[in-house]
């Protein structure tokens, strides 16, 4: 929910919209059944109310139709794979968003691949050069131990932002230099 509300707005306005939404409706079932104008009004402080209202209602109805109840404990009682299947089947939710929700919000072992992780993985030869983000995510998901997913994900993002940057990777300062097949390469990938 916060992921949808955070689109094209600040964290402050996202949080205001979320608080307004929770105040206006008693529970998530009520949100799922709400008329779109009422839902849009409730989240208007986050911007793009009508657009986000459509997505939020569709997501909640999609979750409910997959037989996951919309209560506070629903996701804690649902197995990993079922949660994954439910999330990626929702409109507008791709593998990266689903993995982020599962890893960061629900503490489930899923490996999100953003642009930094994707780039670093290719440069280090962890995946084939033409692997797309979805294939890269599948490779990490299969090979990284559950307990290491969070730390590896965070470290790869930091490495991609601070050292193995898109345009000018700082290979001379890189601690992975001796392992990297692309030392000195300064292309955009
Ligand atoms: S050596 Fe260079 S290309 Fe390889 S991971 Fe480090 S910064 Fe990236």
Per residue in 1-24, pLDDT (tens digit) is 777 888 788 889 899 999 999 999
Q: What is the pTM of this model?
A: 0.76
Mean confidence (pLDDT) of the chain:
90
Q: Does 189 have pLDDT greater than 50?
A: no
For residue 33, tell me if it sits in a domain.
yes
Clarify whether residues 100 and 124 are in a common domain: no
The dihedral through the CA atoms of 120, 126, 130, 131 has a sign that is negative
- Residue with the bigger pLDDT between 90 and 130: it is 130
| Residue where the block lists tokens 């939020």 | 56
163 CA from centroid of ligand 1 (Å)? 7
Q: Which atom of ligand 1 is nearest to the CA of 176?
A: 6
Number of domains in the chain: 2
The pair of structure tokens assigned to 17 is: 């919209």
Clarify whether residues 17 and 89 are in a common domain: yes
Asked whether 177 lines ligand 1 (CB < 6 A), one says: yes
At 25, which CATH number? 1.10.340.30
pLDDT for res 32? 94
Catalytic residue among 96, 118, 123, 159: 96
Give the residue from 105, 126, 159 where a domain finishes.
105
Distance CA 120, CA 166 (A): 9
Domain around 143: 115-179
The verdict on whether 52 is a catalytic residue reads no
The pair of structure tokens assigned to 68 is: 């996951």
Q: Which atom of ligand 1 is nearest to the CA of 181?
A: 4
């Amino acid at each position: 929910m916060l992921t949808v509300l955070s689109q094209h707005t600040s964290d402050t306005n996202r949080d205001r919209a979320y608080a307004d939404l929770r105040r206006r409706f008693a529970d998530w079932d009520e949100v799922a059944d709400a008329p779109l104008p009422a839902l849009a009004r409730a989240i208007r402080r986050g911007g793009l109310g009508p657009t986000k209202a459509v997505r939020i209602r569709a997501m909640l109805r999609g979750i409910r139709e997959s037989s996951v109840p919309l209560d506070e404990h629903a996701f804690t009682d649902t197995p990993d794979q079922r949660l994954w299947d439910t999330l990626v089947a929702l409109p507008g939710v791709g593998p990266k968003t689903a993995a982020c929700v599962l890893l960061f919000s629900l503490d489930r072992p899923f490996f999100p691949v953003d642009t930094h992780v994707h780039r670093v993985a290719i440069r280090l030869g962890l995946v084939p050069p033409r692997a797309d983000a979805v294939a890269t995510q599948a490779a990490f998901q299969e090979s990284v131990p559950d307990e290491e997913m969070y730390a590896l994900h965070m470290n790869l993002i930091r490495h991609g932002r601070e050292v193995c940057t898109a345009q000018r990777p700082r290979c001379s300062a890189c601690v992975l230099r001796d392992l990297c097949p692309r030392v000195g390469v300064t292309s955009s990938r």
